[in-house]
Amino acid sequence: MAHPMENNQLVEKKIYRVEGFSCANCAGKFEQNVKRLPGVYDAKVNFGASKITVYGEATIAELEEAGAFENLKIYPEEVVNATAENPEKRFKQWLNSNWSLIISLFFSLIGFVSLYVLGENSWLTISVFLGAIAVGGYPLFKTGLKHLFEWHFDMKVLMTIAIIGATIIGEWAEAAVVVILFAISEALETYSMERARESIRSLMKLAPKEASIVRDGIERKLPVEDIEVGDVMLVKPGEKIAMDGIVIKGNSTVNEAAITGESIPKDKRVDDEVFAGTINQEGYLEVKVTKLAEDTTLAKIIHLVEEAQAERAPHQQFVDQFAKYYTPIIMIVAFLTAIIPPLFLQADWGKWIYLGLAVLVVGCPCALVISTPISIVSAIGNAAKKGVLIKGGVHLEKLGQLKAIAFDKTGTLTKGEPVVTDVILLDDSMEEKELLAIAGAIESRSEHPVAQAIVDKVKKENVSYQTLDVTNVSAVIGKGIKGTIASTTYWIGKVNLFEPLRSVEKDVIEKLGALEREGKTAMLVGTENRLLGIIAVRDEIRSSSKAAITKLNELGIEKTVMLTGDNETTAEAIGADIGVADVRSELMPEDKMECIKRLQEQHGEVAMVGDGINDAPALAAATVGIAVSDTGTDTAMETADIVLMSGDLEKLPFAVRLSRKTLNVIKANITFSLAIKLFALLLVLPGWLTLWIAILADVGATIIVALNGLRLLRVKE
């Protein structure tokens, strides 16, 4: 991949995983530092996925130096961090990251014992508390002072000034407690975001790292990176499938929950497609590999989910802009709090400087900054594990604001696979199997979906048709097909195919009309002299369609509409069966787009649900484009804002509920974060605000906001 730059140059891009992000502000600072590296033209941090994309040349050592203020560790994207897989290494990493906190906590405990026994003016009490402040605050001061001199005002600058100020005015104990609680708050933020990111890491663990491959007649275990397209992969019962491919031998059932979110296994036979990360349950399979490891459906799902986390939701954009001005304002308010009462009201300098420092602490925007990203990451991760790909926070938010949803019919509300529903004999001398044999023999020469439905029916009924010698087969465009068997020409098609040959009786016309009113496509089978029978087919309605529409209505969606190119009679019948509020029939693709625009004029936020292959204009015009994909096709994943991987429309009401819950959680988090700070700031007026109250309010808000965001991981279907 390359990135276009000035002077018509193309610059290579590289993606790295980042370990150690504690907050979104730190991620933004790291991004700015990397952009300033020589040889780097641009950089983009994905805080949710904990990754950075670098356009240009930079070594890992240079990147880690740019992230030294946060002790960040950098890995190439393809390298899996072994620390995340090993509990012992995770514990050692935690100790390495929090050693200053542990020592500071130990010093503070000694300090409080000394305070109780020897008093606050004892040299031991003062020394121990100063030691706690120096050791525990060192990582904070190192970054905070650097940012202060760079005029980059963030939460660490606020805390640095507050702690140093409290130390100068002799509030040793409170300064030490502020250091400890702030460190705990940052550790909780890091832990919360890691919990949210774990939902994505769990997807990465689904695919095996190696597979059994047959090359030159020899079976061998190979890393997935070394497996090539065309290799034959052996999959035993109970094994995970390592690569996407086509079954060339054997049959089995495969659990595709990793891809579709559906736990019910699917039967797999020769020529069926299988996906990396799914589980072969019963039989032995030989699979011809069709995609490289980095191109598998699972790999694309992971990539899309990670990229989704980089796209800022409207609420995230609001918080980012708000925080940009909020921190300087807090510093001004704190400064004015410290000097105005002493200067103009002859108040005590010591008391109001202390209150000014408390304002800095209570103004720390930890909870506010983490409120949106932790909610978005949790929701997108939860949806992905249930087979719903949401390509960004913006689409997640819009989904919860929908007022109307339009559905394509074929391949969306229906399976897109016509099946024979009725075989009606019109000639007493003809048996059903004989009629099916004639129809199957002729239709087997056609690629039309209706023809395929008839052939499938013939095969299902074990009717022998291959022995019939068919000649002179030709399609009559828009009407049907004809062919000759044993010197007799047979015609299969609509009424208008037969009308030039002979009149069609009134009772036959009535039977055809009754079938069409049931949403079926009815075809006559006959010769020039007699009508032999009627074969009716219908596109099967998805089992989940009716339930999905019912649930969407219960959720308060104002209007559900079915858009189709079918004739009005068929469309109305299927629409009535499914339960949509409105049916628009005989539409071309551009007509569907116009329907979406009219719905937007009437209802505002409108979604279009299609199969991801057709309906591109309508999907693009809608507020949210939603693709239904039984197999996770590349087209579906690329064309829509949201993809329902299993083709199960009942996942759409789940996605709407999840979106609404996410919006509620984000709004609650932002409101609570600001309200708790406003309440604490009001305590300044009577002089009741203390550093203890300030830091407890900040830490408490961070904990509550983080836990509230993590609840989205547990939202069920």
3-state SS, residue 212: strand
SS3 category, 313: coil
**Cα–Cα distance for residue pair 631/656, rounded to 1 Å:** 22
Residue 580 token pair: 């949509």
Per-residue pLDDT for 82 more than 50? no
306 in Cβ contact with 389 (< 8 Å): no
Helix (H/G/I), strand (E/B), else coil: 657: helix
What DSSP designation does 240 have? B
| Whole-number pLDDT of residue 551 | 92
* C-beta of residue 405 within 8 angstroms of C-beta of residue 656: no
pLDDT(182) > 90: no
- Looking at the predicted structure, is the pLDDT value of residue 693 above 90? no
Over residues 385-391, the mean pLDDT reads 83
Helices (H) and strands (E) in the chain, counts: 24, 27
Instruction: Grade residue 492 by pLDDT with cuts at 50, 70 and 90.
Output: very high
Backbone angles phi, psi at 424, to 5 degrees: -115, 125
CA distances from 612 to 246, 304, 427 (A): 22, 16, 44
The 10s digit of each residue's pLDDT in 696-713 is: 777 788 888 888 888 888
**The pLDDT value given to residue 684:** 78
Q: Which residues share a beta bridge with 594?
A: none
Q: Are 390 and 308 in contact (CB under 8 A)?
A: yes
Q: Who wins on pLDDT, 547 or 13?
A: 547
Which residues, other chains included, contact 145 with Cβ-Cβ below 8 Å and sequence gap of 6+? 160
Q: Which of 408, 611, 630, 641 is catalytic?
A: 408
In this structure, which amino acid lies at residue 97?
A: S
408 is catalytic: yes
- Based on the number of CB atoms within 10 Å of its own CB, is 527 exposed (0-12), middle (13-18) or buried (19 or more)? middle
Amino acid at 355: L
Residue 638 has pLDDT above 70, yes or no: no
Predicted confidence (pLDDT) per residue in 24-59, tens digit = 667 777 888 888 888 888 888 877 667 888 888 888
Q: Is the pTM of this model over 0.75?
A: no
Cα(534)–Cα(525) distance, rounded to whole angstroms?
A: 6
Q: What's the confidence (pLDDT) of residue 405?
A: 93
* Distance separating alpha carbons of residues 459 and 464, to the nearest angstrom: 8
Q: Identify the helix (H) or strand (E) that includes residue 477.
A: none
Domains of the chain: 12-79 (3.30.70.100), 90-201+307-376+663-714 (no CATH), 210-295 (2.70.150.10), 388-414+542-650 (3.40.50.1000), 416-540 (3.40.1110.10)
Rounded CA separation 121/398 (Å): 59
Q: Decide: 490 and 526 in contact? Cβ < 8 Å.
A: yes
pLDDT at 120 over 80: no
Q: In one letter, which amino acid is 145? A: L
> What phi-psi label fits residue 48: left (phi over 0), alpha (psi between -120 and 50 degrees) or beta?
alpha
In angstroms, the CA 516 to CA 698 distance is: 67
The rounded mean pLDDT for the chain is 80
Which residues, in sequence order, are CB contacts of 520 under 8 Å at separation 6+? Answer: 421, 422, 536, 537, 538, 570, 573
Average pLDDT, integer, range 415-434: 88
Query: In this structure, is the dihedral angle defined by the CA atoms of residues 103, 104, 106 and 110, taken in order, positive or negative?
Result: positive
Residue 524, φ and ψ in degrees, nearest 5 = -85, 145
What is the residue whose two structure tokens read 């641009």? 42
Record the tokens describing residue 81, joined without a space: 């961090």
User: Residue written as tokens 């990111």?
Assistant: 197
Q: DSSP per residue over 482-532, as a string?
A: EEEETTEEEEEE-HHHHTTTS---HHHHHHHHHHHHTT-EEEEEE-SS-EE
359 and 327 Cβ atoms separated by less than 8 Å: no
What average pLDDT does this structure show over 93-110?
Answer: 76
**Integer Rg of the chain from CA:** 33
The residue with tokens 């072994």 is 82
Per-residue DSSP letter, 583: E
d(CA 205, CA 202): 5
- What's the average model confidence in pLDDT over 303-314? 58
Interatomic CA distance for residues 699 and 717, integer angstroms = 33
